[in-house]
Structure 1
Amino acid sequence: MESNNAIVALSALAQATRLETFRLLVRHEPDGVPAGELARLLDVPQNTMSAHLATLSRAGLVKSERQSRSIIYRADLDGLRDLTLFLVKDCCGGSTELCAPLIAELTPCCEPGAKPC
């Protein structure tokens, strides 16, 4: 990931409704959530939610798929991975023992059958 792409992604997440939306979509992987349901769950007008989803989509953090008359939104986990790796790529100057606590804290969230962090 290039710095400019990371800045766009971080800027997209630097707003409360978009951050909440993204986190909600991550929790609902891999099924996703219809746009109208997102608006309802977060108590946001549908047109406002559409604008937030467009911003997250342009930032490479969400993707959408039409299913019949609904548009299902999902977190773009590849975009999340790229952003996370960009942020920690040079973690602690390559001193793995300094990054170990960060990795250890993330790992339980991603193990099969793990409770959400």
Structure 2
Amino acid sequence: MESEQAILALAALAQSTRLDVFRLLAKHEPKGLAAGDIAKALAVPQNTMSSHLAILSRAGLVTARRFSRSIVYRADLRAFQSVVLFMLRDCCDGRPEICGPLIADLTPCCPPAKKKRANAGV
């Protein structure tokens, strides 16, 4: 990832409504949400929301797809991952003593789902 792309992404997320939009869309992966539903959920006028979504889209953090009369937005989690990895790799400069604790703190946030046993309790 280039510095300019990271700057665009970080700048897009440096505004509270856009950060809220990205967080909301990440929670609704993989289906995404229609623009009107995003605006309603965050109590933001639709024309204002349109501007925020355009900025997030230009930054590469969200994708849009037209379905009939609505535009459904999705968080681009791979793009977000690229920004985070860029920051970790660039800032840590390959030094595990710096990056290790950061990565360890991220690990418990998303434990894998436990599989149900087919014959549990039999």
- The two structures share one fold, judged by TM-score above 0.5: yes
2:45 aligned partner: 45
Q: What per-residue deviation string (whole Å, max 9, x for no partner) do you get for residues 37-76 of structure 1?
A: 1000100000100110000000000001112222111101
Cross-structure match for 2:104:
104
AA partner of residue 66 (structure 1): R
Rg comparison, structure with higher value: 2
> Identical aligned pairs, as a percentage?
62
Q: Structure 2 stretches of 5 or more lacking a match?
A: 115-122
State the alpha-carbon separation in 2 of the partners of residues 84 and 24 from structure 1.
Answer: 18
Residue 10 of structure 2 corresponds to residue 7 of structure 1: no
Q: How many residues align?
A: 114
The aligned residue for residue 23 of structure 1 is 23
Distance in 2 (alpha carbons) for counterparts of 1:64 and 1:109: 27
Question: In the TM superposition, what whole-angstrom CA distance separates every residue of 1:5-32 from its partner, at most 9, and x where no partner exists?
Answer: 1111111111110011111111111111
Residue 82 of structure 1 aligns with which residue? 82
TM normalised by structure 2 equals 0.85
Shift of 1:91: 4.4
Can you give the 5+ residue segments of structure 1 that lack an aligned partner in the other structure? none
* Higher mean C-alpha displacement, 39-48 vs 68-77: 68-77
Q: Which moved more, 1:50-59 or 1:19-28?
A: 19-28
Q: 1:85 Cα deviation (Å)?
A: 1.0
Q: Distance in 2 between matches of 1:95 and 1:83?
A: 18
**Which moves more between the two structures, 82-91 or 18-27?**
82-91
In 2, the alpha carbon distance for the partners of 1:11 and 1:108 equals 27
Mean CA deviation greater in 42-51 or 91-100 = 91-100
